[in-house]
Amino acid sequence: MEALLFLGFVAIISVEAAVGKYAGDKVLRLRPENEQHLQFIRHVSHSAEVDFWQPHSVELVTTNRSVDFRIGAGWASEVQAGLNKIGLKYDILIENVQNLMEKQFDRNKTDSTGYDYEKYHRWDEIESWIAKITIENPKLVSRFKIGHSYERRSIYLLRVGKRTGFMKPAIFLDCGIHAREWISPAFCQWFVKEAVRNYGSDPAMTTLLNKLDFLVVPVINVDGYVYSWARDRFWRKTRSRNPGSRCVGTDPNRNFDAKWCSIGASRDPCDDIYCGSHAESEKEVKAVAGFIRQYCCIKAYLTIHSYSQMCLFPYSYTYSLTPNYKELNTMASDAVKALSSLHGTQYEYGPAAIIIYPSAGGSDDWAYDLGIKYSFTFELRDTGTYGFLLPESQIRPTCEETMLAINYIATYVLNHPY
């Protein structure tokens, strides 16, 4: 009997691998209008194979915002029938997730001699890129190991800026907090490439690198990133084990010590916005927070996510406005104006609590309350056409336009010392 069961299990796994883990999965965009609609969504969330893309958890679903979620192939027709029955309007954003997964990679791109910045890279490729870019640019780049992940991988920080004998004001730029948001590490690599390429030739970048240091962490959530390549493309959290639960991982962007777990986070280890057993329980969060606490001169904090096309600033843990709200709002407005000047990409901007939803434990709020009064979260492309599966063909335009926003903010910070 056992042998038969085992064979059956192997058969399912191998079929899944053959046609693809996400064959037949769809991504739906729902527009709930009433309590009955919300009830249905909650019911589906725990009775079907559903993965919330926006917002990131069923707790955050409300009637005034659309909901994007991936639904497993076996459940799609049943759920769609249920939606029609209760009159819950929806669009199908992605007909077949597996097909898009394959299209995400540009097959026809010739392999460039060097590192191809217009492709998504596995962690081992990024890790060797980190070493290479450091060795190739001794005057501009130095590499620090700020800690290691739950699964003992190194967490690297690159300090990018003209080497001087003294400490310069710095801008912290972090990427890859959420594993499935692949465009984020792609942008951090693009930023470093642009900095070292344009130093000495582009006056604006040369000034920035002479007067500031950029502290860039290309991938914070290394274990999660590796897992999103190896096993589950839509994984978001870390890969730490939760005692007493079969569910793995904590949301690193709910694990910072900023009104930890008070709102917009979950105490259930199975939720994508699980806040962890306590603030800074995650080694990856501890590494970043520990580094920032001991570093003298960080004047701005920028954290890169996807998707939604938004420039967010504190607070997220409360609806109250920060003392320098007007300044942050003007900076965000000007930054998104610079961004959209290149390809016309439209961004929303404003305090995170108001623009998306109130949530505690985020890195930007934590940095702000530490005294880093210029703190922004960027949610890069797109608005749901591809979502986390942003095609490689969009890496270049996304990174080019985002460079304009980051450079605007960096110049502002340089001109407004505090």
Q: Which residues are known catalytic residues?
A: 379
Nearer to ligand 9B3, 205 or 355 (CB): 355
- Name the binder of 283 from ligand 9B3, Zn ion, none, CB < 5-8 A by kind: none
Q: How far is the CB of 251 from ligand 9B3 (least distance, A)?
A: 7
CB nearer to ligand 9B3: pick between 159 and 178: 178
Residue nearest to ligand 9B3 (CB): 362
Pick the closer one to ligand 9B3 by CB: 25 or 364: 364
**Of the candidates 26, 121, 233, 305, which one interacts with Zn ion according to CB under 5 A?**
305
352 binds, among Zn ion, ligand 9B3, none (CB under 5 to 8 A by kind): ligand 9B3
Q: How near is the Cβ of 38 to ligand 9B3 at its closest, in Å? A: 20
Radius of gyration of the chain (CA): 21
Q: What is the maximal distance between C-alpha atoms in the chain?
A: 74
Interface with Zn ion: number of residues (CB under 5 A):
4
Least separation in angstroms between CB 284 and ligand 9B3? 14
3-state SS, one letter per residue, for 187-226: HHHHHHHHHHHHCCCCHHHHHHHHHCEEEEECCCCHHHHH
What residue is closest to Zn ion based on CB?
305
Give the helix, strand, coil percentages of the chain, each rounded to 5: 40, 15, 40
Burial 9-22 (b: 16+ CB within 10 A, else e): eeeeeeeeeeebeb
How far is CA 98 from each of CA 15, 202, 272, rounded to the nearest angstrom? 14, 42, 22
* Minimal distance, residue 3 CB to Zn ion, in Å: 36
Is 290:147 a contact under the CB 8 Å cutoff? yes
Binds 373, which of Zn ion, ligand 9B3, none (CB < 5 to 8 A, cut-off by type)? none
Environment class of residue 64 by beta-carbon count within 10 Å: exposed (0-12), middle (13-18) or buried (19+)?
exposed
| Spatial separation of the C-alpha atoms in residues 136 and 196, rounded to whole Å | 10
Which residue number, 178 or 299, has a Cβ lying nearer to Zn ion? 178
Closest CA to 263 of 273, 251, 272: 273
User: 205 and 407 in contact (C-beta within 8 Å)?
Assistant: yes
Residue 215 Cβ vs ligand 9B3, minimum distance, rounded to whole Å: 19
CB 66 within 8 A of CB 30: yes
Q: Cα angle vertex 131, ends 404, 161, to 5°? A: 40
Nearer to ligand 9B3, 45 or 253 (CB): 253
Spatial separation of the C-alpha atoms in residues 87 and 28, rounded to whole Å: 15
Q: Which among 82-90, 180-188, 190-198, 199-207 is the span making contact with Zn ion, rule CB under 5 A?
A: 180-188
Least separation, in Å, of the C-beta of 311 and ligand 9B3?
Answer: 11
Nearest residue (CB) to ligand 9B3, 96 versus 394? 394
Of 199 and 225, which CB lies nearer to Zn ion in the complex structure?
225
Closest CA to 205 of 168, 166, 160: 160
Q: Where does this chain bind ligand 9B3 (CB under 6 A)?
A: 56, 178, 253, 305, 312, 316, 352, 356, 359, 361-362, 364-365, 377, 379
For 72, phi and psi rounded to 5 degrees? -60, 150
Residue 43's binding partner among ligand 9B3, Zn ion, none (Cβ under 5 to 8 angstroms by kind) is Zn ion
Place of tokens 């009064």: 373
* Contact between 381 and Zn ion per CB under 5 A: no
Which parts of 35-94 interact with Zn ion (CB under 5 A)? 43
Residue 250 binds which of Zn ion, ligand 9B3, none (CB < 5-8 A, kind-dependent): none
Q: What residues pair up with 312 in beta bridges, in sequence order? A: 350, 377
* Vertex 404: Cα angle to 390 and 191 (nearest 5): 65
Q: Provide, rounded to whole angstroms, the least separation between the CB of residue 372 and ligand 9B3.
A: 13
- Choose from Zn ion, ligand 9B3, none: what does 396 bind? Cβ within 5-8 Å by kind: none
**Residue 68 binds which of Zn ion, ligand 9B3, none (CB < 5-8 A, kind-dependent):** none
178 near Zn ion, rule: CB under 5 A: yes
Q: Which does 316 bind (CB under 5 to 8 A by kind): Zn ion, ligand 9B3, none?
A: ligand 9B3
In the bound state with ligand 9B3, the residue whose beta carbon lies nearer, of 52 and 408, is 52
Q: How far is the CB of 379 from Zn ion (least distance, A)?
A: 5
Q: Which residue(s) pair with 159 in the sheet?
A: 142, 215
Residues paired with residue 92 on neighbouring β-strands, in sequence order: 28
CA distance linking residue 250 with residue 239, whole number of Å: 7
Residue ranges in contact with Zn ion by CB under 5 A? 43, 178, 181, 305
